[in-house]
Amino acid sequence: MTRTIDGNEIADGISADVKASVETLRDADVQPGLATVLMSDDGASETYVSMKQRACEELGIEGSHVEIDPDEPAAVLFDRIDELNGDPSVHGILVQMPVPDHVDKRTVLERIDPTKDVDGFHPENVGRLVAGNARYKPCTPHGVQQILAAEGIETEGKDAVVVGRSDIVGKPMANLFVQYGDGGNATTTVCHSRTEDLATKTRQADILVAAAGVPEMIDGEMIKAGATVIDVGVNRVDTDTDKGYELVGDVEFESAKETASAITPVPGGVGPLTIAMLMYNTVKAASLQSG
Ligand code: GUN
């Protein structure tokens, strides 16, 4: 029987621990604070940011939100980041990606104080992660590690295949898998848009992480019998429904379920973990900054 992994349940367990840590910090007169910044009118980005703010509210983290018109010059965003860097009540800063084309993404990421970079995207934090000395593990790949741990799925010595090489998921995921220690020690392959004969590679995976952003690109035939399949994709596909779209992953769930031993659904799989790990990083930031 294939197990459908309940990401909400795993995230709830982590959130309960984070909430307890928030209370301990508050007892010591430290109120953890997270600032989100949105410079976009993309509906999905708006939804993600409001989910992050709601999670703050639920866990006792002080959430603040900055919205910048996407037509404004980049300098407006940079000035706001500078203000947040200098605000001691803000321990974590998250600029929702993507930013508009006229704003250089790398400059944004480098502008955020690395001690407040709870996404873990600043080059200093990327370097620390690669060096095996992470300060903030990027939320989605860290969430995938939490799923595997909660499900008792060992990574050591296993073949892990990551499909997708984004800075947000694919690259840090692969880096975590190759690190020493729990959740690492995996033999790791990264596949991407230029990979030849993708199916041969994905069929080698004991643990397959799909993070390419292509709707249902992985089907059951591309999966080794008994593999664990983690679907990071969240793709809006147009439908005739009232909402006008439905969310589908990078994995064709129905056929994948026939081959995999465990699989995350979309929605309700990795998504809740991304938010829980952001809250975790925010508490860690507050702790580091008050220590
Ligand atoms: N856009 C999609 N995922 C993420 C994320 O984890 N963090 C930020 N800042 N932007 C995103």
Interface predicted TM-score (ipTM) of this complex, two decimals: 0.97
Closest Cα to atom 11 of ligand 1: 97
Distance 96 CA to ligand 1 centre (A): 5
The pLDDT value given to residue 1: 80
Distance 107 CA to ligand 1 centre (A): 16
Is 165 annotated in some ligand binding site?
yes
The pLDDT value given to residue 69: 98
Is 229 annotated in some ligand binding site?
no
The CATH fold of domain 29-116: Rossmann fold (3.40.50)
Q: Is the pLDDT of residue 166 over 80?
A: yes
The pLDDT value given to residue 291: 77
Residue with tokens 């795993």: 10
**pLDDT band (50, 70, 90) for residue 85:** very high
State the chain's mean pLDDT as an integer. 98
The pLDDT value given to residue 162: 99
> What tokens appear for 137 in the block?
């593990």
Least Cα distance to 188 among 138, 144, 218, 220 occurs for 144
The pLDDT value given to residue 235: 96
Please name the helix (run of DSSP H) or strand (run of DSSP E) that holds residue 33, with its range, or none: strand 33-38
Is 143 annotated in some ligand binding site?
no
- Ligand 1 atom index nearest CA of 140: 6
Least Cα distance to 21 among 252, 203, 281, 270 occurs for 281
Enzyme catalytic residues: 52, 96, 119
Q: Supply φ then ψ for residue 208, to 5 degrees.
A: -115, 120
CB 139 within 8 A of CB 167: no
Count of Cβ atoms closer than 10 Å to residue 129 Cβ: 22
pTM recorded for the entire structure: 0.98
Same fold, 29-116 and 139-271: yes
Q: How large is the average pLDDT for residues 77-96?
A: 98
Q: Which of 37, 77, 94, 171 to mutate to test the pocket of ligand 1 (most atoms within 8 A of CB)?
A: 94
CATH tag for 139-271 (out of 3.40.50.720, 3.40.50.460, 2.60.40.420, 3.40.630.10): 3.40.50.720
Domain coordinates of the chain in residue numbers?
A: 29-116, 139-271
